[in-house]
Amino acid sequence: MVQRKRVMGALVTATVFMSLVAGCGAKTTETTSATTAPQATKAAEAAKAGDGKVVVGFSQIGAESGWRGAETQSIQDTAKADPTIDLKFSDAQQKQENQIKAIRSFIAQKVDVIAMAPVVETGWEAVLKEAKDAKIPVILVDRGIDKKNEDLYTSFIGSDFIVEGQNAAKAMAEHLGDKGNIVELEGTVGASAATDRKKGFDDEIKKHPNIKIVKSQSGDFNRATGKQVMEAILKSPEGKDIQGVYAHNDDMALGAIQAIEEAGKKPGSDVKIVSIDGIKEAFEAVKAGKLNTVVECNPLLGPQLFQAAKDLKAGKQLPKWIKSNEDVFTGQKAIDALPNRKY
């Protein structure tokens, strides 16, 4: 009986001891869990704050031309090669509503910088005010917006489209010997590049009263559309006697070349052609004698865009206009530059 009580006592003691051990273990685990969670959170926050990434949301118009494709490639390649850049890319497929949706998505994601190539100049006020209210700077790339909304974006990176148009007019006047009828193939209606390239060209060509623009029509910056428009013009009364074609971009010029050849004329000799952009195919057309002058508009804007984004995140102030370096190529100068064209 005594021995039985001793055994029972030992069992009780062991049970109590195991309970105490289990209780301490549970308490220790709970304490560890409670203390490591905030530590992990802090570590994650510290890593995020110190990763050096600049998050850039970019809304591209689409892929209407070789030039546009080169710009997209420059932006994507530059971002991929730079570990400090996190690029969020959106293709609007030539629709403004898609660009607006993309910008609102970037705002919701709280990116550091929003960049966009606006498909047209107008209709951005509401969404850009949303970005401004969210304190997210906006950079315009290669195309501008309505000047009354200049306070809604931080900087514009790109060309002087008016000067491009002026240079194209000077080249056309030289090729025609200051006399002849010409056709103007315009870009997308409402796009800043089209509006300014037309203004620059038209204003400059007025200085040459014996050169007349007999037809001006949009080819939407598209090669196939440029060809269709040129075919229709060649069949019209105005198109029966033309000596020159000015295209707002190379793709429309290349489409026009096809239409002119199919009409039995020789582009580059029977009809002088001047275009803007500077894609490799245009330089090849100059070499083939089918295109006379290419006014360069540099699409390789990736490095400038991301440097600007980094500067903004670092608190630096950007100029309102960051201009790209460009040139005019005619004849042998274009042929010599052909091997080095990157787009």
Per-residue pLDDT reduced to its tens digit, 146-158: 989 999 999 999 9
Q: Which two tokens stand for residue 87?
A: 């690029």
* pLDDT (0 to 100) of residue 342: 85
Per-residue pLDDT reduced to its tens digit, 50-60: 467 999 999 99
Mean pLDDT (whole number) for 73-83: 97
* pLDDT (0 to 100) of residue 51: 65
**Buried b or exposed e, range 240-273, using 16+ CB within 10 angstroms:** eebbbbbbbbbbbbbbbbbbbeebeeebbeebbb
In the predicted model, is pLDDT for residue 336 greater than 80? yes
In the predicted model, is pLDDT for residue 47 greater than 80? no
* pLDDT (0 to 100) of residue 309: 98
* pLDDT (0 to 100) of residue 65: 86
Q: Which residues pair with 116 in a beta bridge?
A: 59, 140
Mean pLDDT (whole number) for 258-279: 98
Domains of the chain: 54-158+300-325 (3.40.50.2300), 161-297 (3.40.50.2300)
- Provide the whole-model pTM: 0.78
Mean pLDDT (whole number) for 269-292: 97
Determine the Cα–Cα distance for residues 325 and 283; give it in Å rounded to an integer.
18
Average pLDDT, the chain: 88
In the predicted model, is pLDDT for residue 6 greater than 70? no
